[in-house]
Amino acid sequence: MQPPPAEAVQQQFQTLLRQDLPWLLMGTVLLTLSASAIALFCGRWRARDLALLWFGVFSGLYGVRLLASVRTVQILVDLNRTSTGYLASFITYGINVPFAAFIEQVLGRGWRSSIRWLVRIWALFAVAAVASDLARRTPGTGSLPNNILVLLMIVVLLGHAFRRRQADVVGLRALQAGFLILAAFVVNENLEGAGIVPWRTNLEPVGFLLFIGCLGYVAASRSLAREQRLKAIEYELQTARHIQSSILPRRLPAHHGLDLAVRYIPVASVAGDFYDFLAPEDRRLGLMVADVSGHGVPAALIASMVKVAFQSQAPHAADPGRVLCGLNRILCAQLDGQFVTAAYVFLDLDARSALYSSAGHPPLLLWRSSHRQMHEFQEGGLLLGFMPHADYPVAELALQPGDRLLLYTDGILEAVNPAGDFFGPDRLRDFIATHTHLPAVPFADALLARLAAWSARRQDDDLTLLVADFHREEAFSLGRPTPSPAPRTARGSHG
C-alpha cells in the first residue's frame, strides 16, 4: 500500500534534509563566524583591525553561496535555478576582493604592491563580470577568466606567505597551513574534473571550512595581539600622564592682593601645553605659559624639557627677556624640528608693575577696569628653538587695582564651531569685557564653558588659561610710589 502523497512529500523532504544537513551546518558556521568577526571589529573600533572586517565579509559571502546551493534552502526560500545561478556567480566574482584585502592586512602590500594590485584587479574584474552576466542575461559568463585569476592569486599569495621575511607576521604558521589546505583541495578539484583520480566527491566546502578556520585563527590572533598592544600603550600613556601632572605646579602661589586661576585641559592623555611659576621672593612672581608644537607624547616630552629649562632661569626671574633667551639657547641645542611658543610676565606687587615678553605666543591681554579698556601686548621675538641668538624685547606696564591679566595658549583662539569658525581674539576680548564682575576662578570656568558651547564640546587642541586679578587699592602694599596709569616701554634682551 502506497503512503498518502503528503506523507511521501514529507519523507522526501526529510531525506533531502538529511543529505543537506552537513552543508546546512557548514553554511551556518560560516555565517556565525562572519557575524562574530564583524561584531568584534565594530566593538573594538579603537583597534581598527580591518583584517577582522575583511575576514567577516569573506566568510559571510562564502556561507551565503554555500547555503544558496543547498536544495533544502532553495525550497524553503523559493529560489529558482536562475536566481541561484546569478547569486552564485556574483558572489564568486566578488568574494576574492575581501579575501585578497584580508591577506594584505596580514602580510602587507606585498613585493612591489603585488597583493594591493590583486585587490584592485579583482574589484575591477568583479564589476566587469557582473556587467557581462547582466548584459548577456546569463550567469557565469566570467567563469573562465575567474578561474585563471584564482590560480594566479593562489600562486602570488603562496609566494608571499612562505617568504623568509614574514617571520614577524602574527599567526603566520596558521596562515601557511591554511594555504596548503586550500591548495590541496583546489588541486583535488581540478584532478577530479580531469578524470585523473577515481573518486568523485565534492570536498571543496570541507577544505574551505578548514581554510576558514585557519584564517579565523589568524584574525583572532591579530585582534588579541593588537588589543594587548593597545593596553600596553594605554598603560604607558597613563604613566606619562602621571609624570606630566607631576611637573605642573601642585598649588598656585598665594600673594596678598593677587588672585590666580589656572585651567589646563589636554586634548589627549598628555599635552604639549605647560605653565609654571618663578617666585624669587615674596610679593614678586613670574608666570609662564608655553605651547609645544604638536600633540601627544612627543610634545609632552618637550614640555618636560621646558620645565627643567625654565626652572634653571630662576636667577633671572625678574628679567623676562633674559629668561626667554636662556630658554631659547637650551632648547635650540635639544629640539629637532619642533618649536615652542611661550609668554612670561614678571609681577612686582609692591611696585605695582609688570614686565612682559613672549616668543611667538598669543598676546598678553590686560583688562583695565578703571577705564573699561582692553590693552594688548605683543612684545616678543621668535619661537623658542628656532634661532639660538634671538632677541626678546620686554614691555613694561603699570598695574592698577581691578586689573586682570590673561595668559593663554592658541587652543582658546582656535576653538572651532561646527560651521568651521574660530572663536578668535575678538570673541575672547568681548567675553572678558562682559564678565569683569566674575572673580578669577569663576571667570576661568565660565570662559571654558563658553568655549565648550562654541565648539559643541569638540576639542582639537590643548587649552591652557592663566588669569591674574589685582585687588583693590587697600590690598596693595603702602609706601611705594605709584607708577603712571599705563606706561609701556620695550627693551631688548640677549640674556
Q: What is the pLDDT of residues 196-230, one digit of tens each?
A: 666 666 666 677 778 788 888 887 777 777 777 77
Terminal Cα-to-Cα distance of the chain (whole angstroms) = 116
474 has a pLDDT exceeding 50: no
Question: Per residue in 232-268, is it b (16+ CB within 10 Å) or e — as a string?
Answer: eeeeebeebbeebeeeeeeeeeebebbbbbbbbbbbe
488 has a pLDDT exceeding 60: no
Split at pLDDT 50, 70, 90, the class of 318 is very high
Share of residues in the chain with pLDDT > 90 (%): 34
Lowest mean pLDDT among 21-30, 34-43, 73-82, 170-179: 170-179
Average pLDDT on 336-342 reads 84
DSSP 3-state assignment of 103? helix
Dihedral angle over CA of 178, 182, 183, 186, nearest 10: 180
DSSP 3-state assignment of 205? helix
More confident position, 280 or 55: 55
Mean per-residue pLDDT of the chain: 82
* Cα 273 to Cα 75: distance, rounded to the nearest angstrom: 67
List pLDDT tens digits, range 350-364: 899 999 999 999 999
Q: Which amino acid is at 241?
A: R
Between helix 50-68 and helix 204-247 the angle, nearest 10°, is 160
* Cα 114 to Cα 95: distance, rounded to the nearest angstrom: 18
pLDDT of residue 51: 82
Average pLDDT on 420-440 reads 93
Lowest mean pLDDT among 35-49, 155-169, 290-304, 402-416: 155-169
Under a CB-based contact definition with an 8 Å cutoff, are residues 47 and 225 in contact? Answer: no
Whole-model pTM? 0.59
Split at pLDDT 50, 70, 90, the class of 441 is very high
47 has a pLDDT exceeding 70: no
Under a CB-based contact definition with an 8 Å cutoff, are residues 90 and 146 in contact? Answer: no
Q: Which domains does the chain have, with CATH numbers?
A: 15-236 (1.20.1070), 248-491 (3.60.40.10)
Of the spans 297-301, 340-344, 388-392, 484-488, which averages the highest pLDDT? Answer: 340-344
Alpha helices in 282-385 (DSSP H): 296-311, 320-332
Under a CB-based contact definition with an 8 Å cutoff, are residues 56 and 31 in contact? Answer: no
Share of residues in the chain with pLDDT > 70 (%): 84
List pLDDT tens digits, range 74-120: 888 887 888 888 999 999 999 989 988 888 888 888 778 888 888 89
Alpha helices in 162-268 (DSSP H): 172-194, 204-247
